[in-house]
Amino acid sequence: MNFSEKPKQKIAFFIGTACGLGLSPILPGTCGALLGVAVHVGIVLMLPASLQMPALLLAFAIFCAANHLLTDWAETFWGEKDPPHFVLDEVAGYLLVPILFREGSLLKVVLWGFFLFRLLDIFKLLPPARLIDEQLEGPWGVLLDDLVSAGYAAWIMAVIFWVAPGWMM
C-alpha cells in the first residue's frame, strides 16, 4: 500500500479499515465487523443500562457518518467500488443488530447477531439487499445493503426469541 505521508490519509486508512481489521486477507468484512462487536460489548459492560442504548445509537451514527465521509476516499484509494478492505459498513451493520434486538443475554445476542448478520450480508439472501448492492452506488450503496441485512438478522432473532425464548437467554 503506497499512500502519501499525509496524516489525513493515514487516519482515513486506519478508520476505514476498522483499525486494520479489514485488512485481513480472508473475510475482511467479517473481521472488520468484529470492531462493532467490541464496541457493543464494551458499551454493555462499561455503561449502566440507562446509557447503553444512547451509546449504541451514538456509535452507530458515528460509523455511518464515517462511512459517508470516507467512501469516496476509499474507492479512489483502492481503485474499485465498495472495496473489500473498507469495512465501516460492516461495523455499522453489526451495531444495528443490538439496537433493533434488545432481548436475551449479551453472549447470545453477540453470537447470534454476528453470525446471522454476516451470513445475510455475505450471501444477500433476502431482498432488497442484493438489489441495493448491485444498483446503488456511493456511500448509501455501500452502507444500505448492510443495514438491510442487519434488520433481517434482528428480525430472525426476534422470531427465535418468540418461538423459543430459552435460546436467547
pLDDT tens, residue by residue, 40-86: 999 999 999 999 999 999 999 999 999 999 999 999 999 999 999 99
Residue 2 in domain: no
Across 98-102, average pLDDT: 97
| Residue 59 placed within a domain | yes
Tell me if residue 80 falls in helix, strand or coil: coil
Number of domains within the chain: 1
How many Cβ atoms are within 10 Å of 160's Cβ, its own excluded? Answer: 19
Does a cis peptide bond (omega within 30 degrees of 0) precede residue 139?
Answer: no
Q: Is there a domain that residue 145 lies in?
A: yes
Q: In this structure, is residue 56 part of a structural domain? A: yes
> Which one, of 140, 147, 149, 133, lies nearest residue 68 by Cα?
140
- Asked whether residue 113 carries a pLDDT value surpassing 70, the answer given is yes
Asked, for residue 1, whether it belongs to a domain, the answer is no
What is the pLDDT averaged over residues 23-37?
98
- CA–CA separation, 19 and 25 (whole Å): 15
State residue 129's pLDDT score.
85
Range(s) of the domain holding residue 88 = 7-18+26-167
pLDDT of residue 166: 80
